[in-house]
A and B are shown apart, each in its own frame.
Chain A
Amino acid sequence: MHIVVCVKQVPDTKIIKINPKTNTLDRKSAPAILNPYDAHAVQEAVKVKQLTGGTISVLSMGPPQATEVIKKSIEIGADRGYLISDRAFAGADTLATSYALSKALERIGKDIPVDMVICGKHAIDGDTGQVGPGIARRMDIPPVTSVIEVSEVNVKEKTILIKRKLTSGYELIQAELPCLLTVEKEINEIEYAPMPNMIRAARYQPIIWTVNELENVDRAQLGLKGSPTVVGKMFTPPRPEGGKKLEGSADEQVKQLMDLLMDKKDLLTVQSTN
């Protein structure tokens, strides 16, 4: 069983603040982190590997610092990591990203054929969730998105049973391997990594490929050039008609609010229960 997990380095949006005056990002101390959903994707691969044996590779596209998220993945339990890093990839939208990643997957698959690809549900910076299904299409394998449980893996029959989250409830799906999953956070808990993993990760040197190390690449489909979408403009959303701020002490404000609410008969009424 060879599982490849796609992992992305993202700015920690918990810390990023936008400067409201200049509309620019304030990344003073925001470190880059492993996309939280991708951490769950790696953890799920570890769980599957415990059942089936095999190898876990992780793959990332990004600047050289993205080796950090590969190391993080090794901590969680991945066996090896690949980073594709090249100017040619820069500025990619989801279409160009899935193209580049699928080319890297092709090369990884040459050494050991890939049985399963796992992605996060979405990356918290771009927040599209489009890259995973895109990769699946390019590899011509079935995608199953929003996975909340991998219930069974049958290595002999090459099938897998999956629970997929729906708007209300879930569905149970049987898929043939190889296939691609994108996972929700609730699929597992990230385990506290044991020390030997930490040491392995601290020592680990990811394999780094430039575009030249990938085969049969159509450069026109990479990076900015290969991206059909462009950012037109950035703007602060039109401010809705600003509401009224109540005035006075806390008590007075609460009082005013209660009066306002009680006045709005169409909103709320107090019914006598007796």
Chain B
Amino acid sequence: MPEKFDVIVVGAGPAGTACALVCAQQGLNVMLIERGEYPGSKNVMGGVLYRKQLEDLIPDFWKEAPLERPIIEQRFWMMDKESVVSFGYKGLEWGVEPYNNFTVLRAQFDQWFAKKAVEAGALLVNETVVKECIVENGKVVGVRTDRPDGDLYADVVVLADGVNSLLGKQLGFHKEHRPDEVALTAMEVINLPKEKINDRFNLEDNQGCTIEIFGDSTQGNLGTAFLYTNKDSLNIGVGTTLSSMIKAKLKPYDLLDYLKNHPMVSPLLAGGESAEYLAHLIPEGGFRSVPKVVGDGVVVVGDAASLVNAIHREGSNMAMASGKMAAEAIVKAKTRNDFSASGLNSYREALYNSFIMKDLEKYKDAAHTFEKYPQYFKEYVPMMNKAASKFFTVDGTPKREKQKQIMKSVTAERGTIRVLQDMYRAWKAVK
């Protein structure tokens, strides 16, 4: 007779591990199943780990977790072909406890995080693929793995299997993502000596910097690029929605190559050695593409539930928070021994009352707007660059006169009405 668990969690990413950790801490018998050689072995992330949601799970985690650098500076670049308009914030208060964000390498971080769940009592099984949920009388009662004698049973199955969630599709919770709902991102880890990174980014040893790059980084397509500092490597990546890639006939690697060779970027990478190349999807459908998250004997967390805020590049934190909420709902369901959809519904309630769904709702039109009106990326970024160039070039023209010329050239290029329209639309999308 196969063993029965209280909870089976599929996928040891941030969402699944957070859920397994909390369930185990609450004394439940938890099985965590991961298909990779070890947690994080294939997982991909630009690398910003937000402090708050992990701290809720593991207080003072920064004292032991394998973190790269605490981020003390965030820069934003509006990049044109040969220029960039940059702004950002650097604050030393982010460099001391309790910190703000960190860069991480997922291959290391996920392993550590999963170890925490194991120490709390969860059973971790790697190199095992869950093929499907076992459904009896419309209720999920377990999972079928690809191993011999591989069926396992549980009161609740947690789907934390990431963006493509085959299991969610099997259950009919969601359909195949539409190309405009996912971003395809390619990234590379580039080894570079610590001293070089410190010099080039103006940092001390234990300080990190992130740069988000818009505009020419995606050759004007809807998407962004990033460049983050690790201890002795850089993460550089770029992605656009799948639909833009298809439309513009782009390959993710070509975009990345273009970015790496961009004159604003390449000096920062010079002399580095490529250590890893990765590509991954990000669910960016936002509020409208969040699927059903609770069913009889099953809950869905993290990327599997499309819980990603594309505008702010938040994903792992939402994954952790949703995993924790799901765990709390499961613990509650256990006390009542009711694992039906209504017994587990407190997860859905918690999720919709949390920052996660509120933030997703706030931006529910953003992606749509920017995709539909490409001028934001294609025209305004170059315009900003031209304007800045004009404004800062000292050529004897009075500043007031310069401002006038700049305004004129903007409205001349797009027309006053259209500029106002664009501004209103953008404001509405992110308000």
Contact = CB atoms under 8 A, between A and B. Distances in A.
Given A17-B275, A198-B125, A199-B3, A28 B191 contact: yes
B105 A28 contact: yes
B105 A29 contact: yes
Given A17-B275, A29-B276, A31-B37, A195 B123 contact: no
A203 B105 CA distance: 28
A19 B37 CA distance: 25
Interface of A is mostly: mixed
A19 B272 CA distance: 11
Contacts of A198: 125, 128, 147
Interface string B1-31: 0110000000000000000000000000001
Interface string B34-51: 000110010000000000
Contacts of A195: 2, 125, 128, 145, 147-152
B149 A194 contact: yes
Nearest to B189: A28
B362 to A, nearest CB: 36
A193 interface: yes
A26 B38 contact: no
Given A26-B191, A28-B105, A195-B150, A202 B37 contact: no
Interface string B112-134: 00000000000111001000000
Interface string B169-193: 0000000000000000000010100
B219 interface: no
A243 interface: no
Contacts of A192: 146-148
Nearest to B122: A202
B243 interface: no
B123 A203 contact: yes
A29 B107 contact: yes
Nearest to B105: A29
B275 A196 contact: no
Contacts of B145: 195
B148 A28 contact: no
Interface in B130-147: 145-147
A229 B92 CA distance: 50
B230 to A, nearest CB: 9
A194 B147 contact: yes
Interface centre among A28, A192, A202 (most CB of B within 10 A): A28
A194 B146 CA distance: 9
Interface in A167-207: 192-196, 198-199, 202-203
A42 to B, nearest CB: 16
Nearest to A198: B125
Contacts of B125: 195, 198-199, 202
A192 B128 CA distance: 10
Nearest to A21: B193
Nearest to A28: B275
A31 B148 contact: no
A199 B123 CA distance: 7
Contact of A29 (B2, B31, B108, B146): B108
A202 B119 CA distance: 11
B262 to A, nearest CB: 25
Interface in B92-120: 105, 107-108, 111
B241 interface: no
A202 B3 CA distance: 14
A202 B124 contact: yes
Contacts of A202: 123-125
Contacts of B147: 192-195, 198
A199 B124 CA distance: 8
A200 to B, nearest CB: 10
Interface in B32-85: 37-38, 41
Interface in B223-242: 233
B148 A194 contact: yes
B303 to A, nearest CB: 21
Interface string B304-319: 0000000000000000
A28 B146 CA distance: 30
Interface string A216-253: 00000000000000000000000000000000000000
Contact of A196 (B149, B189, B276): B149
Contacts of A26: 191, 275
B327 to A, nearest CB: 19
A148 to B, nearest CB: 26
- The winner among A29, A195, A203 for most chain B CB atoms within 10 A is A195
A24 to B, nearest CB: 11
Nearest to B232: A28
A28 B149 contact: no
A199 B105 CA distance: 28
A31 B39 CA distance: 11
Nearest to B151: A195
Nearest to A202: B123
Contacts of B146: 192
Contacts of A19: 191
A191 B150 CA distance: 14
A72 to B, nearest CB: 10
A194 B148 CA distance: 4
B44 to A, nearest CB: 12
A28 B189 CA distance: 11
Contacts of B275: 17, 26, 28
B388 to A, nearest CB: 38
Contacts of A203: 123
Contacts of B2: 195
A203 B30 CA distance: 12
A202 B12 CA distance: 14
Given A194-B147, A198-B147, 14 more contacts: A28-B105, A29-B105, A29-B108, A31-B38, A31-B41, A31-B111, A192-B146, A193-B147, A194-B150, A195-B149, A199-B3, A199-B31, A202-B123, A202-B124
18 contacts: A26-B275, A28-B189, A28-B191, A28-B233, A29-B108, A31-B38, A31-B111, A192-B146, A192-B147, A192-B148, A195-B2, A195-B147, A195-B148, A195-B149, A198-B125, A198-B128, A199-B123, A202-B123
What are the 5 tightest A-B residue pairs by CB atom distance, in nearest-first order?
Answer: A194-B148, A29-B107, A202-B123, A195-B147, A194-B149
Interface of B: 2-3, 31, 37-38, 41, 105, 107-108, 111, 123-125, 128, 145-152, 189, 191, 233, 275-276
